[in-house]
Structure 1
Amino acid sequence: MGQIILVTGPARSGKSEWAESLAQQTGKSVVYVATATLDPQDREWQQRIAAHQQRRPASWQTLEVSAELAATLRVTPASDCLLVDSLGTWLANFLPEEESQWQAIQAELLESLAQTEADSIWVAEETGWGVVPAYPMGRLFRDRLGNLVRRLSAIAHRVDLVTGGYVLNLSQLGTPLGDRL
């Protein structure tokens, strides 16, 4: 298994910038896995995507992967570093799925990750720090993402929390709860 780094934190905290700097430090060929899909009707979303694109070095390969993330992991060679941005955006593609189907998708992703020889850096949003959403789809998203982030952190070699423009290495500072899921 390649090295797994999880970078998590709230919106606009600097998660992506930190993950990008970690990817550059590997010295490997970086494959940026963009999980967002471009909505031609959403100008603000287009601007966010453009800002991410402009920040990335031209030498990085970009893959747009809205669903087949597990398959991408299986074919990436050990000479590459995958930077997956972001887990929450990828997960949003599966919100309509029934719980049993979602569990199978999640298990396939984690199994593929455990088998890949490539290093990977994962950007994940922390959505559970605020109020409980008042609508079912918001609660489903928050609960599924929180569970997936916790599962990913259990196998990660390093977990960083980025908040307010600061990075905390939780793997050094914290105590893992263990696998109680």
Structure 2
Amino acid sequence: MAHSNKQKPEVPNGLIVVSGPSRGGKSRWAEHLLSSQERVTYVATSAHRSNDPSWDERMRLHRERRPVHWQLREPGAMLAECIRTEEAHHPLLIDALGGFTAVHLDRDDHQWEQEAEELIESLLTRICPTVIVIEETGWGVVPATKIGGLFRDRQGWLAQRLEQHATDSWLVVQGRALNLTQLGILVP
């Protein structure tokens, strides 16, 4: 027998991190957290993929799930700038940081850290809830390519940096959301 808990948690102001593996329900949970808000800006970070019907289908499902009154932004590489231009008094949902990380893979480590810190600084200027989805990539096999390893390592580093500033943090696995803020202890 499947258990269902439709309870909506209270969404605090500040940064709310939602992480988890692929196809675990991260985006649905992030959308659920903000579903009762009158106005939400949804920031999609993924680049368009030509000739990829499965990706097109995935994006279609995301669009259909979102309330029609939500605003959509697609900033490409300019995520921090996009966040700074949005009204700080309206909720923001950023889905997901894999697109941000991927677009900056050509940067050296120093440039990457500057991009990530600029992103974090822009997030910290916000007053209302800012829900940010980040993919957990380190649970699977070790990437066979250097670029795959770089992506995995940068995502893990970024997730830990965001967690240092998060008001609330969720891990979504197998369609279940776990509140890490309540359950977990920060690693020193």
TM bin, normalised by shorter chain, reads over 0.9
Question: How much does 1:96 deviate?
Answer: 1.1
Residue 149 of structure 1 pairs with residue 159 of structure 2:
yes
Provide the aligned C-alpha RMSD in A. Answer: 1.2
**Which has the larger helix fraction?**
1
Q: Which amino acid aligns with 1:107?
A: E
Per the normalisation by structure 1, the TM-score is 0.93
Gaps of 5+ in 1: none
Q: Deviations over 1:80-111 (max 9, x none)?
A: 11100001122100111111111111111111
Q: Is 1:76 aligned to 2:86, yes or no? A: yes
Counterpart-to-counterpart distance in 1, 2:100 and 2:63? 18
**Shift in Å at residue 28 of structure 1?**
4.2
The residue aligned with 2:22 is 11
Residue identity in the other structure for 2:26: K
1:110 equivalent to 2:90? Answer: no
Structure 1 residue corresponding to 2:73, chosen from 45, 63, 78? 63
User: Which residue of 25, 35, 60 corresponds with 1:24?
Assistant: 35
Identity %: 44
CA contact (8 A) 1:83 1:120 kept: yes
The gaps in structure 2 that reach 5 residues or longer are 1-12
| Structure 2 Cα separation of the partners of residues 83 and 92 of structure 1 | 19
Following the alignment from structure 1 to structure 2, what is the Cα–Cα distance between the partners of residues 85 and 102? 19
What secondary structure, in the 3-state scheme, does the structure 1 residue paired with 2:164 have?
A: helix
Q: TM (normalized to structure 2)? A: 0.89
Shift of 1:11: 0.6
SS of residue matched to 2:147: helix
Cα offset for 1:117? Answer: 2.6
Structure-2 separation of matches of 1:65 and 1:177: 33
Q: How many residues align?
A: 176
CA deviation map 1:30-64 (0-9, x unaligned):
00001112223111111111110011111000001
